Amino acid sequence: MIEPVRDPAVLEGYLRDASNLRGEAELLFRPRTTAEVAEVVAWCQARAMPLTVTARRTSTTGAPVPMGGALLSTEMLATIHALDDVDAGVLLGEYQAHVEAAGRFFPPDPTSRNECSVGGAIACNASGSRTFKYGPMRPWIESVEAVLADGTVVHADRSTPLPWPVPQWEEPHVKTAAGLYPAKNLLDLLIGSEGILGIITRARTRLVALPAQVLTLLAFLPTRESLLAFLPVARGMGPRCIESFDRHALDLIRGRVPDVPAADCALMIEIEHDGEPPLEPWFDALVAAGALVDDTVVATDDSGRAKLHVMRHALPATVNEIIARNGVQKVGTDFAVPADRLGELLALYDAVPMASVCFGHIGDSHLHLNLLPRDAAELARARELYFELAKAAVAMGGSVSGEHGIGRLKVKHLALMVPPGVIDGWRALKHQVDPAGILGRGVMFG
């Protein structure tokens, strides 16, 4: 059995995630093999000791934050075995770079890909901007090796039967990462289960050929109306992503990108192509939409695209810095709604009486409204506002989480969306695999 770390100074570095929620733990295990992971789980089970899986802690929901007991960090499970065979603790961005150097492509791209782990992204069924074309992590994972909460080591693929009954329910017909998937096999159950059913140690992925070339456009639009009118046109032109930034987000990135014009919003669009970049049809469409075409930034190569991505990535990171500086927790929406309700949701976001920044995956009608409370009183108000917005998004047929999951901070929002009978079914399932409830205690459904 590996020795746990007990030094509070070391443990301190593992107690918070990007939501800024802080927890506590007595022990930290850093296993190097699946067998060691299984030993740690068995050891904790024998003592009914809570065990929280922690990877890179980029979660925004408190999911990897321990509430006592032991932590299991996946950081030492860090080998890329083959192009399509990777340990859970490997950084997603590092894995993607490795695959791309061989001319292959692993499409899921959470904005945090250079900070988050492959296993964390699987456990959250993470998405990203390219989800518009390629979907979330789920379809790109062929199988996993995992240690279930009862200590059993499994190899799960889509032919692996479910060991327990799993509630079947109708997820909202939008991008969603909220709650347990109505899985028909063990692999699909583990993907997106936020570390409450088992610990993923290794994964086999599905790869495709690296797209030959990518054109990236950063286009500025004068009004909300022009944005909403242009969106269906842009979706129909088959890009791989459509990201948006509201005017507060543009204020934050001014200075990082030269000459950001006075615009209501901006769209970042990526288009895969062979040969000449399809500039003409896109500029025609932008002109027709009334976009500020002279200000459009065009990137036709990797380095130009990388500069725009740095800007895109700077946004959530800057928001996280602001909330950390204010000493509060993040209150950021992750709702996705049907495309025909997006304008309604944006109108509600506009009316929120608190400083905010809105950006995200508008191609999927999935935006992050980040409220920026300055103190504890505003934080409490922000949470009330958030709850009202969550109700509205659910009433529109949306999801309370398009990609970040539920964690500890969004448990009551999940209950707005999922029938109580289904949540009871999940509790019963969790009880079967983990009667003492040690793994990820309190995550997802309390």
Residues engaged in binding ligand FAD (CB under 6 A)? 17-18, 53-60, 63-64, 74, 88, 110-112, 116-117, 119-121, 123-124, 126-128, 194-195, 199-200, 316-317, 320, 403-404, 440, 443
Q: How far is the CB of 203 from ligand FAD (least distance, A)?
A: 9
> Beta strand 331-332 with 265-273: parallel, antiparallel or unpaired?
unpaired
Q: How far apart are CA 125 and CA 402, in angstroms?
A: 10
Q: Which is nearer to ligand FAD, 129 or 296 (CB)?
A: 129
C-beta of 132 vs 386, nearer to ligand FAD: 132
Nearest residue to 133 (alpha-carbon basis) of 239, 209, 268, 231: 239
We find the least distance from the C-beta atom of residue 436 to ligand FAD, in angstroms, to be 17
Q: What is the DSSP letter of 5?
A: B
- Backbone angles phi and psi of 196, in degrees to 5: -100, -15
Give the C-alpha separation, 35 to 42, whole Å: 11
- To ligand FAD, the closest distance from the beta carbon of 370 in angstroms equals 11
Q: How far is the CB of 351 from ligand FAD (least distance, A)?
A: 26
Angle between helices 279-288 and 224-236 (to 10 degrees): 150
Minimum gap (Å) between residue 137 Cβ and ligand FAD: 8
Q: CA–CA distance from 54 to each of 76, 100, 123, 184 (Å)? A: 12, 27, 11, 27
> Token pair for residue 77?
């499970």
Count Cα atoms within 13 angstroms, Cβ side, for 5: 16
Q: Which is nearer to ligand FAD, 54 or 96 (CB)?
A: 54
**Which CB sits closer to ligand FAD, 334 or 378?**
334
Nearest distance, CB of residue 240 and ligand FAD, angstroms: 14
Q: Name the closest residue to ligand FAD (Cβ).
A: 120
Nearer residue to ligand FAD within complex by CB, 126 or 371? 126
Q: How far apart are CA 77 and CA 59, in angstroms?
A: 19
Residues belonging to the chain: 446
Cα–Cα distance for residue pair 98/125, rounded to 1 Å: 21
- Residue whose pair of structure tokens reads 């990877």 in the numeric block: 55
26 versus 115: smaller Cβ distance to ligand FAD: 115
In the bound complex, what is the minimum distance in angstroms from residue 332's beta carbon to ligand FAD? 10
